[in-house]
Amino acid sequence: MDAKPAHNFKYVGRSIPIEDGAAKASGSIKYTGDMVVDGILYAQLVFSQVPHARIKNIDISEAMAVPGVVKIYQRDNSTQIKFNSQMWFAGQNAVEDQELFPEVVRYIGDTVAAVVAETKEAALAAADLIKAEYDTLPVVIDPEEALSGQVALHDSGNPFFTMEANCGDVEAVLKTNAGVVVEDRVETPKIHHAAMENHVCIAVPDHRGRMTVYSPCQIVYSVRLIVAKVLGVPYHKVRVIKTPIGGSFGGKQEVTLETYCAYFAKDLNRPVKIEFDRWASIVATRTRTKTIGYVKTMVSPEGKIWARDMKYIVDTGAYTSNGRAICYAMAKKLFRLYRIPNQHYQALAVHTNTTIAGAARGYGSPQVQTIAEINLDNAARHLNMDPVEFRLKNLVHPYDADPSGGPDLGNARIIDCVRKGAETFGWNAKWSQPKRAGRWQTGVGMACATHGNGYYGAYQEFGTMTIRMLEDGSIMLNAGLHDLGNGTVTAMKQIVAEVLDISLDMIEAPEADTDVSPYDIGCQASRVIHVCGANAMQAAEELRSLFIIEAAKILTCNEAEIALEDGRIWRNGNSGNTMSYGQMAAMIQQKNQVELIRTVTYQAPANPGSYAANFVEVAVDTYTGFVKVVDVVAVHDIGQAINTGFVEGQIHGGIQMGLGMAIAEDIDYDEKSGIARGSRFSKYHLVNAPDMPPVRVILIEKGEEYGPYGAKSIGEIATIPITAATVNAINHALNANLTILPVTPDKIMAMLTEQQNK
């Protein structure tokens, strides 16, 4: 799968509009919340209002009197099957500690009961009348306090999981005292994904005892797996259809509402719908993990990193969810960015009485790489060295090995990213600019990042696609695709169009449906373009080959004599006698009695790194602590952009999310009451459009061996380096070391006040 030169591409590399863009802009697209099903019932979950307690009694008498109420569910009249909402493949080693209705609630937002009614209004009214009595239990909100083990949320204790990864001998190097040792404690917050669409699901039973689940999810086969377990039925009794999604960013990767919807629908033999409001989506679904990192780095006087010791405390909230998997995922990234011969990584996952943490864009990378990059800036400062120069001395090179034993790094072009970004940003002039007096202080910062391209080397990594040429020459690509609004379907069409030399409007690529879509592990791990795209490319290549073989029989010539272009086919030397793909496909069916179809199971052979460097300029108001981000340059080693406009859009969106983590976003739980202060958008502050800085995007397109046309991922890495780059810029502006994120005005003013009082 060698990449073609970019100038030869006809469809790849172009900014082709997303296929459902007009429908979204006009409002004609039907999201799950818009769907109407005959005989549908509405369910409203009742949430715990205390962070940790044993349920004594639930009084439903007033709720049952509300007209339209069909049934009220609680622990005593529901299944008590345990599951883990993060499981995405059968046989996965995951701790199953969740139930629909637990005996002990473990956070505000845990599910106490549920009302199913004929109308949404009746369900809401009845839910408000349910009264729960509790025996309260001790509460732990701080993940470091959780390490004491004084509060037991589960039998597994705290920490409930630990792991380590190593290369070299960190302890021996640190004992030499030969270099400069820089230590930092950095804290990143629990944050909300803030998708426009709140969580929603519909489940519809049928006369055959099957359940159809309509869900704007990221992994239909994960939904099928967990729903089947909770219902106690075989997989073939559950059908999951991925519906149009109004944003996810990882928030809809795990199963949240689907189990409740399907269970109620099966019990009542009627369709059931659950739709959350914003409070429930923030408090009762999933968050990014809060992570506290302790980093100790030894550097030589010349700026070479000799050793690094890292300890991360990972707050996974009230249940295990992805608590173990994310610790492994965090580790992988920390060994694949810099040439550090001696590294030690330790992760300790803890339970707290807060919302369950789960997948979030970057899957741990924004947390651990932000922590590491802030520490590296401080190391450069201790050496009185330019942060760009310091990083260039230590960054990985193309085709380096992973010292922790993972897959090779591939065509890693992070050095190109840093050099090109520094030049475009004007780093040298801005970094060396003298500080000026006055209210506003300016500063610049930069950071680097890496991310993977799928699961190869860690978990199963394969998928299957079936591609057919229909009798009119149009193409049907049948695959387990999940478009999250990022253009997956359009990008797959571009890859197929490039192989077959056919226009995109002749290609159909439906999204995932477990009844008809071949198996795929879903939209996760930044695998879609690199793995699914390669699958689509191979399937299209095999279809093209079959088409040529069968056409040669019709035209009574050698296969090498067949020419294909722009949806037309002919025998070389006879270009005046061309026919459309459809004409030839029909003849192949009639005369050769062959269907033009290929099914390809693709196993990923590699997991190269995607790389990025971000450069940021900020202005900080020392009277108020307000931070204005003035300029951003984002450089990405992407191999080859399949759709340049989509790539740039992903980067702009990623910058917005990463800026939020740096300076604004925090769910922020009260340590005594367990209440989330940021449970509404009125209190949970996002970086909005008027606050966005200009973002200059530069793509490094040097190809990657196994990617389709050389492509690598962009969706998750787009949000990783900007957070540390922004914090580093603030610290440069203020000559500070602010390390508790988000760096909000109150934290800046507290630091400035402390400086003045010294």
DSSP 5: P
How much is the pLDDT for 4? 40
* Domains, the chain, ordered by start: 6-28+462-603 (3.30.365.10), 32-137+199-275 (3.90.1170.50), 290-456+606-757 (3.30.365.10)
Q: Which pLDDT tens digit goes with each residue over 577-598?
A: 899 999 999 999 999 999 999 9
| Beta carbons of 297 and 181 less than 8 angstroms apart | yes
Question: Exposed, middle or buried, 72 (CB in 10 Å: 0-12/13-18/19+)?
Answer: buried
Q: Where are the beta strands (DSSP E) in 452-554?
A: 462-469, 475-479, 507-508
Residue range 17-60, pLDDT digits in tens: 999 999 999 999 999 999 999 999 999 999 999 999 999 999 99
Q: What is the pLDDT of residues 596-605, one digit of tens each?
A: 999 999 999 9
Instruction: Assess whether pLDDT exceeds 90 at residue 385.
Output: yes
Looking at residue 435, its pLDDT comes to 87
Q: How far apart are CA 514 and CA 226, in angstroms?
A: 13
- Predicted confidence at residue 7, as pLDDT, reads 56
Task: Tokens 């923030």: give the residue.
Answer: 282
Specify the pLDDT at position 436: 86
Other beta carbons less than 10 A from residue 380's beta carbon: 20
Q: What is the pTM of this model?
A: 0.97
Q: Give the pLDDT score at 5.
A: 42
pLDDT tens-digit map of 310-338: 999 999 999 999 999 999 999 999 999 99
Structure tokens, 93:
């080693």
pLDDT of residue 575: 74
166 phi and psi angles, rounded to 5 deg: -145, 155
Quote the CA–CA distance of 714 and 197 in Å, as a whole number: 22
> What average pLDDT does range 689-701 have in this prediction?
97
pLDDT of residue 6: 47
pLDDT tens digits for range 75-105: 999 999 999 999 999 999 999 999 999 999 9
Q: Are 260 and 223 in contact (CB under 8 A)?
A: no
- What letter would DSSP give residue 459? S
H or E stretch including 328?
helix 323-334
What average pLDDT does the structure give for the chain?
A: 97
Whether the per-residue pLDDT at 266 is higher than 50: the answer is yes
Reported confidence tier of residue 573, pLDDT bands at 50, 70, 90:
confident
* Owner of token pair 């608590």: 323
Tens of pLDDT, residue by residue over 644-670, are: 999 999 999 999 999 999 999 999 999
Interatomic CA distance for residues 612 and 40, integer angstroms: 48
For 613, the token pair is 């460097």
Q: What is the pLDDT of residue 601?
A: 98
What average pLDDT score do residues 158-169 get? 97
Taking 80 as the threshold, does the pLDDT of residue 576 lie above it?
no
Question: Residue 476: what pLDDT?
Answer: 98
3-state secondary structure of 167: strand
The neighbour count for residue 346, using CB atoms within 10 Å, is 17
Q: Model confidence at 758, in pLDDT bands (50, 70, 90)?
A: confident
- Does pLDDT of 63 surpass 80? yes
Give per-residue pLDDT as tens, 499-530.
999 999 999 999 999 999 999 999 999 999 99
Q: Residue 281, SS3?
A: helix
pLDDT in tens, 112-138: 999 999 999 999 999 999 999 999 999
Task: Check residue 112 and give its pLDDT.
Answer: 98
The token pair that represents 462 in the structure block: 């394969």
